[in-house]
Amino acid sequence: MTLKVENLRTYFFTRAGVAKAVDGVSFEVGRGEILGLVGESGSGKSITGFSVLGLVDPPGRVAGGRILFHGEDLVGRSQGEMRTLRGKKIAMIFQDPMMTLNPVLSIETQMVETVRAHDRVSKAEARARAVEALGLVGIPSPDERLAAYPHQFSGGMRQRVAIAIALLHRPELIIADEPTTALDVTIQSQILAVIQGLSRDFGMSLIWISHDLGVVAGLAHRIAVMYAGRIVETGETDTVLDSPVHPYTIGLMRSVPANLERGEPLTPIPGMAPPPLGRSAGCPFRLRCFAATAACEIEPEEATADGHRWRCFHPQIARAA
Amino acid sequence: MTIFIIRRFSQSLFVVFLTSLLVFVGVYAIGNPVDILIPADASFAEREAAIRALGLDRSLVAQYGTFLVNALHGDFGRSFVFNQPAISLIFQRLPATLELAFVALAIALVLGIPLGLIAGLKPRSVTDETIMTGSILGFSLPNFWQGMMLIMIFSVWLGWLPSSGRGESGEIFGITTSLATWDGLAHLILPATNLALFQLSLVIRLTRTGVRETMPLDFIKFARAKGLSERRIISVHVMKNILIPIVTVVGMEFGSLIAFAVVTETIFAWPGIGKLLIDSITVLDRPVVVAYLLVVVTMFIFINLAVDIVYSMLDPRIRLSETQ
């Protein structure tokens, strides 16, 4: 197992109180596996990704749980120890390609420094590896483009550069935080194809963080749906999408236009996700849930059936069957 | 780039011409130098002769015309007081002022950037609060009072450093400078520090703000996710971004550093152009004042041009392309 996260809790200790951004999340990613981490804004999916790399900014910190990378716990490791892992064994791709590259440094500088942060190689060799990585993600004439600056690339090209940087050390795990959200649809599908191919070719594991069920459906082997800092439903992609049991997952799927007849109105989930501060006890989704009853005043335990797991007192199994 | 420089150069010529006109008329309006230069008991004939000798009997337009023609030949007139070419008076004194200004700038940058970094990286810590309070003092204390306090503490009480004059100067690479001798250096420390304090505070604040704005950006987090060391992130990724505003503001301010030198030079009896200007204004030595202002304007123009060029080297997004 490449990554095993157990009961992860990442809290933000603010003056207004403790914001439990990630509140008891557990999941696993095997070698070469793609896990889709799905949820709406503020559900804690990005913070989960940052927690794995030890990159949660103060006042936030991992307050509990274990993050096992090849069986070794990363929680409590020093920044120096984490640094040797970042970019080398675990890489990350960010949401907004317009913001992830340093505007005043050339692509070459930003790639060469990444190679040399982990491997003692000459500049020429580092450069050769950069050219190779740019070629892998489909950037034409990479040798010339290396001298360019980020503003000379389009958004899609910048995201390819960011992916190339993530690939420089052939990491075992890539955490991709909504890497296609800021791109238009045609570029999005190109980037998806690039990443999918690379993951397959190099046996890289992938955590694909997204709010877009449609993107994840075509990409991930397994899906974990997050809501208010918890994973409310997880399982094989086909199982979860064909027979979702948690009312929230069902609500999400009803909000995707692709599942509907043309002209039919979408069914949005009523209300808003609860803010991370001042979440009340019990199931966090109960106030927006069509199936909520008095039983939901207590936090539901995880239930499981054939690797399909959910946290709900009223799983919609009958509906799915 | 070449076209950019040529265009800037022609614009600059126009600015210099306009300044010369303004300055000439301005100085003409201030007062009649004859009243000060000629003793009160001089006879009417002596007075008339002096006025004619200085060319002050002619109309403003005629005087300006003569000045302009001569100026184009490199002649800015002779000082009424010293009876020397005004421009050579200025160039004799200019190196002392430039030396003072450059050393002050160096102090401001060498101390200001690290202090600003420390403050910005640990916001609201005791160190940060101390540095920021210090920078408020540097901003708000009057320059002349500050200078007198420095003399009081380091010359009078402690007796460590001399309080006035330029001291011995030596030559480095053919340039006469105080930096070549210990005595010169000792004379330079107090006035340069006094001049630097305002700029120092400015650099500290700019650096701190820059750090605070840059650190939370995505590309810094991405740099961390790449596994870069904190040292590399700060010295390359953060620094290169915050140098852009620092270069701009400090470059623009360098001109006022030379202008502010007037006060510092007066307090520390530093033989620079600031002191020459004050003396010339008191006796209405018109050619010196006009020549001084033209020299300063020209320097401002060149500093700004240099800033624009450095700026474009630092920020690839605004490379000066031929199409501009």
What range defines the domain where residue A127 resides? Answer: 103-168
Q: Are residues A145 and A177 in the same domain?
A: no
Using an 8 Å Cβ cutoff, are A169 and A132 in contact?
A: no
Q: Are residues B38 and B156 in the same domain?
A: no
Using an 8 Å Cβ cutoff, are B158 and B249 in contact?
A: no
Q: With an 8 Å Cβ cutoff, are A92 and B223 in contact?
A: no
Q: With an 8 Å Cβ cutoff, are A104 and B241 in contact?
A: yes
Using an 8 Å Cβ cutoff, are A226 and A37 in contact?
A: yes
Report residue A289's pLDDT band, with 50, 70 and 90 as the boundaries: confident
Q: Are residues A8 and A68 in the same domain?
A: yes
Q: What is the mean pLDDT of residues A143-166?
A: 90
C-alpha distances out from residue A40 to A44, A255, A277, B82, Å = 9, 12, 16, 81
Which pLDDT tens digit goes with each residue over B92-148?
888 888 888 889 999 999 999 999 999 999 888 898 989 998 888 888 888 888 888
Q: Are residues A158 and A278 in the same domain?
A: no
Residue B263 forms part of a structural domain: yes
Q: Are residues B70 and B211 in the same domain?
A: no
Q: Are residues B62 and B204 in the same domain?
A: no
Query: What residue has token string 């596996």?
Result: A33
Q: Are residues A84 and A116 in the same domain?
A: no
Residue B238 forms part of a structural domain: yes
Which pLDDT tens digit goes with each residue over B13-38?
888 888 888 888 887 777 777 777 77
Residue A95 forms part of a structural domain: no
Top-confidence residue, B157 or A279? B157
| The pLDDT value given to residue B24 | 82
Q: Are residues A188 and A301 in the same domain?
A: yes
Residue A134 forms part of a structural domain: yes
* DSSP H/E element including A225: strand A222-227
Task: State the average pLDDT for chain B.
Answer: 83
Q: Which residues on B lie below 8 Å from A99 (Cβ)?
A: 217-219
Residue B293 to residue B295: CA distance in whole angstroms? 5
Q: Are residues B71 and B217 in the same domain?
A: no
Looking at A168, A185, A208, which one is the last position of a domain? Answer: A168
Residue A124 forms part of a structural domain: yes
Judge whether B314 is closer than 8 Å to chain A, CB to CB: yes
Residue B155 forms part of a structural domain: yes
Which amino acid, one-letter code, is at B236?
V
Q: Are residues B53 and B154 in the same domain?
A: no
Q: Are residues B238 and B302 in the same domain?
A: yes
Q: Are residues A23 and A38 in the same domain?
A: yes
Q: Are residues A187 and A51 in the same domain?
A: yes
Tell me how many domains chain A contains: 2
Q: With an 8 Å Cβ cutoff, are B227 and A85 in contact?
A: yes
Q: Which residue of B has its CA nearest to A110?
A: B223
Q: Which residue of B has its CA nearest to A58?
A: B216
Residue A246 to residue A134: CA distance in whole angstroms? 41
The CATH number assigned to the domain holding A300 equals 3.40.50.300
Report residue B324's pLDDT band, with 50, 70 and 90 as the boundaries: very low
Q: Which of B216, B219, B315 sits opposite A100 (nearest CB)?
A: B219
Q: Are residues B109 and B150 in the same domain?
A: yes
Judge whether A161 is closer than 8 Å to chain B, CB to CB: no
Task: State the average pLDDT for chain A.
Answer: 87
Q: Which residue of B has its CA nearest to A151?
A: B317
Q: Which residue of B has its CA nearest to A84?
A: B227
Q: Which residues on A lie below 8 Å from B230 (Cβ)?
A: 79
Structure tokens at A277: 């501060």
| The pLDDT value given to residue B180 | 65
Q: Are residues B128 and B262 in the same domain?
A: yes
- CB-based contacts of A247, cutoff 8 Å, min separation 6: A285, A289, A290, A291, A292, A312, A314, A316
Q: Are residues B154 and B297 in the same domain?
A: yes
Q: Which residues on A lie below 8 Å from B223 (Cβ)?
A: 102
Q: Are residues B67 and B101 in the same domain?
A: no
Residue B4 forms part of a structural domain: no
Q: Are residues A32 and A69 in the same domain?
A: yes
Query: What residue has token string 């199409």?
Result: B323
Residue B185 forms part of a structural domain: no
Residue B144 forms part of a structural domain: yes
Structure tokens at A138: 């489909």
The CATH number assigned to the domain holding B110 equals 1.10.3720.10
A320 pLDDT above the threshold of 50: no
Q: Which residues on B lie below 8 Å from A57 (Cβ)?
A: 216, 221
Q: What is the mean pLDDT of residues B232-237?
A: 92
Q: Half-sphere exposure of A310 toward its Cβ, with a 13 Å CA cutoff?
A: 22
Report residue A107's pLDDT band, with 50, 70 and 90 as the boundaries: very high
Structure tokens at B264: 């510092």
Q: Are residues B287 and B149 in the same domain?
A: yes
Residue B168 forms part of a structural domain: no
In chain B, which among 124-163 make CB contacts under 8 A with chain A? none
Residue B141 forms part of a structural domain: yes
What range defines the domain where residue B115 resides? Answer: 90-160+192-318
Could you give the angle at which helices B286-314 and B86-121 cross, rounded to 10 degrees? Answer: 40
Which pLDDT tens digit goes with each residue over B187-226?
888 888 888 898 999 999 999 999 999 999 999 999 999 9
Looking at A168, A197, A216, which one is the last position of a domain? Answer: A168
Residue A270 to residue A4: CA distance in whole angstroms? 34
Looking at B15, B47, B75, which one is the last position of a domain? Answer: B75
Tell me how many domains chain B contains: 2
Q: Are residues A216 and A145 in the same domain?
A: no
- CB-based contacts of A305, cutoff 8 Å, min separation 6: none
Q: Are residues A108 and A81 in the same domain?
A: no
Q: Are residues A261 and A137 in the same domain?
A: no
Residue A151 forms part of a structural domain: yes
* DSSP H/E element including B57: none
Phi-psi region of B126 (alpha: psi -120 to 50; beta: other; left: phi over 0): alpha
Looking at A143, A168, A193, which one is the last position of a domain? Answer: A168
Long-range contacts at A124-132 (CB < 8 A, ≥ 24 apart): A129/A168, A130/A164, A130/A168
Judge whether A18 is closer than 8 Å to chain B, CB to CB: no
Q: Are residues A230 and A314 in the same domain?
A: yes
| The pLDDT value given to residue A282 | 82
Give this complex's ipTM: 0.88
Q: Are residues B47 and B144 in the same domain?
A: no
Closest CA to B85 of B290, B272, B265, B297: B290
Structure tokens at B106: 């160096």
